[in-house]
Structure 1
Amino acid sequence: MTTEAIAIVTGATGGMGREIVEELARTHHVYALGRNDDALAELGALSNVTPVSTDLVTDLLGGADSPSSLVPLLDLTRIDVLVHAAAIATRFSVESARVEDWRTAMDINVVVPAELTRRLLPALRAAQGSVVFINSGAGRGSYGDNIVYAATKHALYALADGLRKAESGAGVRVSTVAPGPTDTPMLEKLQAQSGAEYVPEHYIAPVEVARAIRTVVDAGPSTQITDVSVRPRIEVGDRKQGAPA
């Protein structure tokens, strides 16, 4: 039986995902999940990283008969760390969002992490592992033109809080890491939608989010770090940028 520490990272090809994979690969064998095959190939060249090409909505929510590249992960007997970094964000107001917009965002941002966690709970319990949800400043507030994304992140807080209470007796630690505006393609797209100027150096470097996750994962055996906010050194609003996060 292997004693190698195992980590699974969703959204591994996103702006934060690669940094999270690289950080965890120093001490874990990381299964890096994503849809961008070119980026997955780059991750696969790293030591201690196994890339997994998957559409999580199809593979997890498509029904029992859906072919899934996740089967080898679901067969793991122990998992030490599960990081939910996969998410989508598109600006919508209540007026502009349609039912399909709500359902798409909720599926990816909330239902997928809930279902993947459920499927992996036996292995997480066996390792007394850690589940880390990547949230956002939008999980504690909202904007008129970013309501759908904010609503999913509010729901993700509820998911994390309830899971932490339900699994504490089994030794599973549950944490939320909530970055503010971070220099990622997702934020750049949101800024473009709003017409705001995008200045990368005004935002959090993704590597700093990965370091926050390291702090959570390395917490001592008698503790769990349940809620971490990662903010820019100078708040974006104080720079008159007005970028929500």
Structure 2
Amino acid sequence: MDTAVTSTPKPVALITGASRGLGAAIARELAPTHDLLLGARSADSLRPILDELPGATGWPVELTDYRAVAAASASIARLDVLVHNAGIADLGTIAESSVDQWRNTLEANLIAVAELTRVLLPALRAADGHVVLINSGAGLRAHAGWASYAASKFGLRAFGDALRLEEQSLRVTSIHPGRIDTDMQREIRAHEGRDYRAEDFLTASTVAAAVRNAVDTPRDAHPTEIVLRPF
């Protein structure tokens, strides 16, 4: 007698800011074992990573457009992994800062994260899912010239702590990497007027591997915080 073989569906992972840099590296890490939804501001920006990972699905949405976020999330009934990687780094001293800089940084790095998580809570609960917050060393210690960015990342850490307590069926991991060799890092070094040496920084693939390790941690453990520094 023939026995029907049924395959178990892959877990689903949504990665924001997945078009390049760290987000694309995380997508590469999770692609063998997950069905991927790859987020970015535009469909055009996702084309290179979707060409590289043809099994993935693009999820283009502006994360600070909350009506668009709700509409794009409506069809997600189950979500095993949510990686919040998208963010901005608008640097400058407090004296040089503006209300718009503070508002834009907090909006992109904290408020949009909180709202996307809130909208996706039913899907995360259905899977006993895992929320991974890509934070920063600046979320543990502020530095001169980084006030608005650090404030957003300190807030992101607090958000993760609260989410972990409130949604006890979910795992919530805050990852705090030091500086990573990415296009954003090149822009930061240029802003600081300093030379760029890739070997001084973490690689995106190393940080992506830490995300993968957190996701793969057996269910009897809860990886709450991971701190990485360049060696």
Q: Into which bin does the TM-score normalised by the smaller protein fall?
A: over 0.9
SS at match of 2:13: strand
Q: Corresponding residue for 1:22?
A: 28
Deviation string 1:15-42 (CA, Å, 9 cap, x unpaired) is 1010011111111111000125444012
Q: Which amino acid is 1:117 matched to? A: T
The residue correspondences of 1:173-192 to structure 2 (distance < 5 A) are 173-192=171-190
- Within 1, Cα distance between the matches of 2:136 and 2:94? 20
- Aligned residue number for residue 103 of structure 1: 103
Shift of 1:143: 1.5
Aligned to 1:56: 63
Q: Residue by residue, what CA displacement relative to the aligned partner does 1:27-78 show, whole Å, maximum 9, x if unpaired?
A: 11110001254440122221431112221112x2xxxxx4x27635332211
1:98-126 superposed Cα distances (whole Å, 9 cap, x missing partner): 11110100000000110000000011011
Name 2:93's counterpart in structure 1.
Answer: 93
Q: In the alignment, what sits opposite 1:241?
A: none
Among candidates 200, 203, 214, match of residue 202 of structure 1: 200
Return the letter of the residue paired with 1:13. Answer: S
Aligned positions of 1:198-237 closer than 5 A: 198-233=196-231
- AA of the residue aligned to 1:123: A
CA RMSD, Structure 1 to Structure 2 (Å): 1.5
Letter in 1 for 2:150: A
Equivalents in 2 of 1:43, 1:14: separation in Å? Answer: 7
- Separation in 1, partners of 2:171, 2:74: 19
Question: 1: distance between equivalents of 2:45 and 2:75?
Answer: 25
Long gaps (5+) in structure 1: 61-65, 234-245
Q: Does the aligned pair in 2 maintain the 1:13–1:36 contact within 8 Å?
A: no
Greater mean deviation of Cα atoms: 39-48 or 143-152: 39-48
CA distance in 1, matches of 2:58, 2:48: 9
Q: Provide the residue aligned with 2:18 in structure 1.
A: 12
- Unaligned stretches of 5+ in structure 2? 1-7
When normalised by structure 1's length, the TM-score is: 0.87
Change in 2 beyond 3 A, CA 1:69/1:108: closer
Q: Secondary structure at the match of 2:150?
A: helix
CA distance in 1, matches of 2:145, 2:42: 28
Deviation at 1:206, TM superposition (A): 0.1
In the TM superposition, residue 92 of structure 1 has moved relative to its aligned partner by 1.6
Percent identical among aligned pairs is 38
Name the amino acid aligned to 1:71. A
Aligned residues of 1:8 and 1:30 also touching (Cα < 8 A): yes
1:155 and 2:155 equivalent?
yes
Pick closer, same or farther for the CA change 1:20–1:93 going to 2, 3 Å.
same
- Output the CA distance in 1 between the equivalents of 2:156 and 2:206: 21
Question: How far apart, CA to CA, are the structure 2 residues paired with 1:72 and 1:145?
Answer: 36
Contact residue 80 and residue 129 of structure 2 kept, 8 A: yes
Residues 1:124 and 2:130 aligned together: no
